[in-house]
Structure 1
């Protein structure tokens, strides 16, 4: 199975700047005027230009204010403090304090387009610290 990550954004150039600066991704290619492919992670990310107010799923319309979703993406980093500084400098908002767990450290952020993200730094054996 192959995974592709698609992220709706209202402004492709602003989104490209954010994701390349915040997460160290790079542009793979542009696919027409509506899509930018970002590479550098384990799965490609496709930024899809979708105007605010356009039809979304079901009866919903797209809004780019901060919104909650049961789905979010985690970015695993070697240095959580440095990664958080990069994300904040690029335009992310921190949502709560850095928290520790037996597997590592985590902080929640929101990108400028309302999407939630977590930055994770594994310590010790990572998730194996809590595996049965």
Structure 2
């Protein structure tokens, strides 16, 4: 079984991707930034990470998953020296769940106000 989830973003159509793709009991979520209705939300790594994780919790819920189902998390940071700020926000959400984690240092994103992107993989136990 394969099911796609979108947000209606023009970028999804232009670039040919989905916000999330579910294959059987696994949900793969595209890298997500702190973009909101009025631009980028948050001016530092902690704030942007918190906002992104809130957005991703909604994506998970819309697909019938929960934060507790997350098995892998990847944080893409434009300044790796700020890993502790992003990590603190990540730990507040995933401290008890403890998915795998990658911290990846990247070049600036298309919008220089974007400091963080997060990609998740979630899996439900087979029923």
Report the TM-score when normalising by structure 2: 0.31
Quick one: higher RCO (CA 8 Å, sep 6+), 1 or 2? 2
- Under a length normalisation based on structure 1, what TM-score does the superposition of the two structures give? 0.30
- Computing the radius of gyration over CA atoms, which structure comes out larger, 1 or 2? 1
